[in-house]
Chain A
Amino acid sequence: MQREVPLFITFITGILLIIAFFVPPVSKLEETFLDWYSIVAGITLILGLDSLIIHHLRKIQWKKEGWVHSLALILSLNLTLLWGFWSWWKSGSPFAPSASFLLYFYTYVFIPLQATMFALLAFFIASAAFRAFRARSLEATLLLISATIVMLGRTPIGHKIHPFIPVLSDWVMNFPQLAAKRGIFLGIALGGIAFSLRVILGMERSYLR
């Protein structure tokens, strides 16, 4: 019962969505299923929230190392929720142009945190460029040459050095690069179809763990 019913649900929904693609009368049912999917998929976004909160509450409770950081996390979580709901109530939507949640919290707290977190990667990539990218073999040399052409060709400096550089970089992107990506895509697509079929037919059950 704990395994058979889920396998049956997967089989029916999977097959139905394939049939609906070819048989228009089933299309309305597909629309309904996709609508339900959208609702349930939303719920999955908040799964994991519990373990995050419990993990940090325990750290605070037992005053484990770094509990002050956990306190910051819990406080920011609660503050964000309160602010969001307050804006929802005050402005009719937390995302209204006049909502303080959008104007201040998102713009001046969330954006700098998220954007800077990812801007750090520029430094790590610089360090990697210096330490890791060695032209040790023909393959590695090809990679470096292709990267250099693209890095020059995709900025105005490439054109300044020689107008042919952007043309060459366009060529790399539109032909050899494209061919490799297409080969990889086709491989992934074939693998994806085979995997989906195995899931629908109940041969792949890892999602039931």
Chain B
Amino acid sequence: MMVEMFWTTVAALLTLAIFSFLYEDNPFYKIAEHIYVGSSAAFMFIYVLYFDLWPKLWTPFFSKLFHGNLSGITSSQWWLIIPTILSVMMLTRLLGHVAPQAMWISRWPIAFTVGVGSGLGITGTLQGILVPQINATFLPLWTSSILHTFNNWIIVFGTLTTLAYFYFSVEHKGVLGGMARAGIVFIMVGFGASFGYTVMARVSLLIGRVYFLVHNWLHLV
């Protein structure tokens, strides 16, 4: 109980230290901010070790190698040498401060990740966005219900005019110009909705912190 009270107070003081920035920039905020950055960086390091290198390289391959259990390594596990080499090559970026001339070595693994990202991206975007999203825009523009018809028009017309607005290869004149102007209306309604939602999100975060202070720490509610 005491332990929990102590830690809740630590959490509350850190919360207040960050909030103190609202009055003006001050040492308490600065310290809290730097603690946050430092611990985030350390966190990342632990994650990479614990969830990446440990289960994907150490357990299936290197632990067996170090214990001399070569027969326990399957043929597919031997291939793990390649990502190991790529990972080590990637780490040459860390040498940027002492040996910048060695940085080119990291281009190989970067090229690999970029290649995988691009290849996956093309098929993913085609199959996951372009085809289904275009498909879902093929809506009947004449139905038995006026509201339904109107809403379908909004989706079809709104999508086309928004696309027209972002089509910069041809000057926005004539029909394209008119469509682009209609597109702005949809874009503004869309941005307004996004803004409303963003307000909602930020306010929710503030509520969460204030609730923590008055409920978990001060027990006022």
Contacts and interface: CB of A to CB of B under 8 A. Distances in A.
Do chains A and B interact in one complex? Answer: yes
State the main secondary structure of chain B at its contact with A: helix
A49 to B, nearest CB: 5
B157 A179 contact: yes
B187 to A, nearest CB: 5
Nearest to B208: A115
Chain B: interface size category: 35 or more
28 contacts: A32-B76, A39-B80, A39-B83, A40-B87, A43-B90, A47-B93, A50-B96, A54-B97, A76-B36, A77-B41, A80-B46, A104-B7, A109-B39, A115-B209, A119-B206, A119-B208, A122-B206, A143-B188, A146-B189, A176-B154, A177-B190, A177-B194, A183-B166, A183-B183, A189-B125, A189-B129, A200-B119, A208-B110
State the main secondary structure of chain A at its contact with B: helix
Contacts, number: 378
Given A10-B118, A51-B97, A208-B107, A139 B202 contact: no
Interface of A: 2-3, 5-7, 9-18, 21, 32-47, 49-54, 66, 68-70, 72-81, 84-85, 88, 93-95, 104-105, 107-123, 125, 129, 139-140, 142-151, 154-155, 171-187, 189-190, 192-193, 196-197, 199-200, 207-208
Contact of A10 (B22, B35, B111, B137): B111
Nearest to A5: B108
Contacts of A147: 192-193, 195-196, 199
